[in-house]
């Protein structure tokens, strides 16, 4: 099985404030012959608060859950707070970064990372002589 990434960049040491403020979303990765599928669990994140970028072969998923204070009320005690999710991956050379597709449904992010044509598995027909 090929890997989406050479390494999970979010597992590397990060700046102190980044570690303390961001949750690392759980991710599942599946492979097809022509693409990899990444499914990230980011509960409460909406399309408007989701950012997905590729910069220098680093894929970054970021999302924020914004909680609204009920109008006319002030907090005396609050355990529930806004959450920030972030996960980074270093993309393999086999991924076509310009063709990545994404969608979000109920806080679950679905990414399709197409493989470059030269890295796709294909069957070779054998002809009888």
Backbone angles phi, psi at 66, to 5 degrees: -100, 125
Band (pLDDT 50/70/90 cuts) for residue 15 is very low
Q: What is the pLDDT of residue 9?
A: 52
d(CA 122, CA 114): 15
Tens of pLDDT, residues 75-110: 788 777 778 999 999 999 899 999 999 999 999 999
CB atoms within 10 A of CB 15: 8
Contact at 8 Å (CB) between 27 and 10? no
Mean pLDDT of 5-31: 66
């Amino acid at each position: 099985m090929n890997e989406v990434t050479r390494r999970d960049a979010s597992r590397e040491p990060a700046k102190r404030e980044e570690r303390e403020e961001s949750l690392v979303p759980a991710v599942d990765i599946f492979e097809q012959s022509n693409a990899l599928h990444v499914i990230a669990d980011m509960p409460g994140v909406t399309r408007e608060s989701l950012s997905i970028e590729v910069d220098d072969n680093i894929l970054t998923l970021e999302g924020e859950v914004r909680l609204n204070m009920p109008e006319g009320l002030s907090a005396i005690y609050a355990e529930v707070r806004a959450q920030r999710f972030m996960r980074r991956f270093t993309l393999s050379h086999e991924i076509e970064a310009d063709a990545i597709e994404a969608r979000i449904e109920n806080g679950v992010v679905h990414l399709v990372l197409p493989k470059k044509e030269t890295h796709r598995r294909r069957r070779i027909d054998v002809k009888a002589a």
